[in-house]
Amino acid sequence: MRRVIFNQKGGVGKSTITCNLAAISADKGLRTLVVDLDPQSNATQYLLGRNATNFKPTITEYFDQVLQFHFSASAANQFIHATSFKNLYILPASPELESLLNSLENRQKIYKLRSLLDKVDHFDNIFIDTPPAMNYFTQSALIATDTCLIPFDCDLFSRNAIYHLFRGVTDIREKYNADLRVEGVIVNQYQPGAALPRRLVNELSNEGLPMISTFLTSSIKIRESHDAALPMIHFARYHKVTLEFLRIFQTLQTNEITQPDAFRTVDVTEMIKDKGELEVEV
Ligand SMILES: Nc1ncnc2c1ncn2[C@@H]1O[C@H](COP(=O)(O)OP(=O)(O)OP(=O)(O)O)[C@@H](O)[C@H]1O
Ligand SMILES: [Mg+2]
């Protein structure tokens, strides 16, 4: 199963959610891959720590080879590196990835991530972290994936932007990836005592968005786990936020296995059509 964690808004928790769900997946014995598609390389640093720059070749070298027509399909696995966590692998990014963006966009290499993931050895779960933009990298990820998870940070601007985000996903689905589904919205940095987050989440839920029912609360432990380069399951196994990540992971896995056609794989086009005044331009 391939999942993209996507939101054009910066700092909503994409890299944090990617790495923590992936670490839990691996901890449960599933062969798991994190793909870092963001030149900021935050997921790479979170999982590889201070030695991150030693792990080469990265996705940057892959796209560079694609642009120079040097890529050989038999070499696909060379871009995948084992982390220090059992069953957890990474296709890392590097800051130089940014410099390839224009060339990749101009040359229309939009299926190249998908074709790489089709060629590497089997993984039970692949989690793809994306940059805060709707650009070549995010589009490639949405084309390469089965589903999309959307972090929502309980902010008014995010609430207003979320339908545009769904529209972007729908466009990709119509043009390139007919099987693409939005699996769910993951509420992050939820403050149970505050009125605004509760109101915003209720509004999204009432409007029919597929909200994942376990919310991630805000905790300094998450920042500390970034600093220690240890995902929460390894940094603080019994912490409240770790248990929230575990519940979210179980929700995703269980529904994938027992109800493949139901639950949070929503038909976005139908959903937007039903929204009347909330409909965004096509
Ligand atoms: N639940 C949380 N509690 C406390 N801090 C959090 C939580 N989730 C994320 N953060 C912090 O918020 C910051 C942004 O998180 P993260 O880097 O995961 O977001 P992002 O969406 O990947 O950002 P970008 O768009 O820049 O890639 C980080 O410093 C992270 O530690
Ligand atoms: Mg990030």
Question: The domain containing residue 38 runs over which residues?
Answer: 2-275
Peptide bond into 57 cis (omega under 30): yes
**Long-range residue pairs from 239-248, CB within 8 A, at least 24 positions apart, any chain:** 241/216, 241/217, 242/20, 244/214, 244/215, 244/216, 244/217, 245/17, 245/20, 245/21, 245/24, 245/216, 246/24, 247/214, 248/21, 248/186, 248/212, 248/214, 248/216
Task: Give the nearest ligand 1 atom to 16 CA.
Answer: 18
Q: Assess if residue 140 is contained within a domain.
A: yes
Helix (H) or strand (E) holding 181: strand 181-187
Judge if the beta carbon of residue 155 lies within 6 A of ligand 1. no
Q: How many domains are contained in the chain?
A: 1
Phi, psi of 29 (to 5 degrees): 90, 5
Q: Assess if residue 148 is contained within a domain.
A: yes
Task: Give the nearest ligand 1 atom to 225 CA.
Answer: 31
pLDDT of residue 109: 85
Q: Assess if residue 280 is contained within a domain.
A: no
3-state secondary structure of 13: coil
Question: pTM for the complete prediction?
Answer: 0.91
Judge if the beta carbon of residue 15 lies within 6 A of ligand 1. yes
160 CA → ligand 2 middle, Å: 21
Judge if the beta carbon of residue 222 lies within 6 A of ligand 1. yes
Residue 103 CA to residue 114 CA, distance in Å, equals 18
pLDDT of residue 192: 86
pLDDT of residue 74: 73
Judge if the beta carbon of residue 186 lies within 6 A of ligand 1. no
Asked whether 117 and 35 are in contact (CB, 8 A), the reply is yes
Asked whether 30 and 22 are in contact (CB, 8 A), the reply is no
Q: What is the mean pLDDT of each run of 10 residues along the chain (282 residues)?
A: 96 97 98 98 97 95 91 87 98 97 89 95 98 96 97 89 89 95 95 91 91 95 98 97 97 62 40 38 22
Nearest residue (CA) to ligand 1, atom 31: 223
Q: Assess if residue 270 is contained within a domain.
A: yes
Q: Assess if residue 281 is contained within a domain.
A: no
CATH number, domain at 115?
Answer: 3.40.50.300
134 CA → ligand 2 middle, Å: 13
Q: Assess if residue 65 is contained within a domain.
A: yes
Distance of CA 2 to CAs 76, 159, 226, Å?
Answer: 17, 26, 24
38 CA → ligand 2 middle, Å: 7
pLDDT of residue 281: 24
Q: Assess if residue 38 is contained within a domain.
A: yes
Q: Assess if residue 79 is contained within a domain.
A: yes
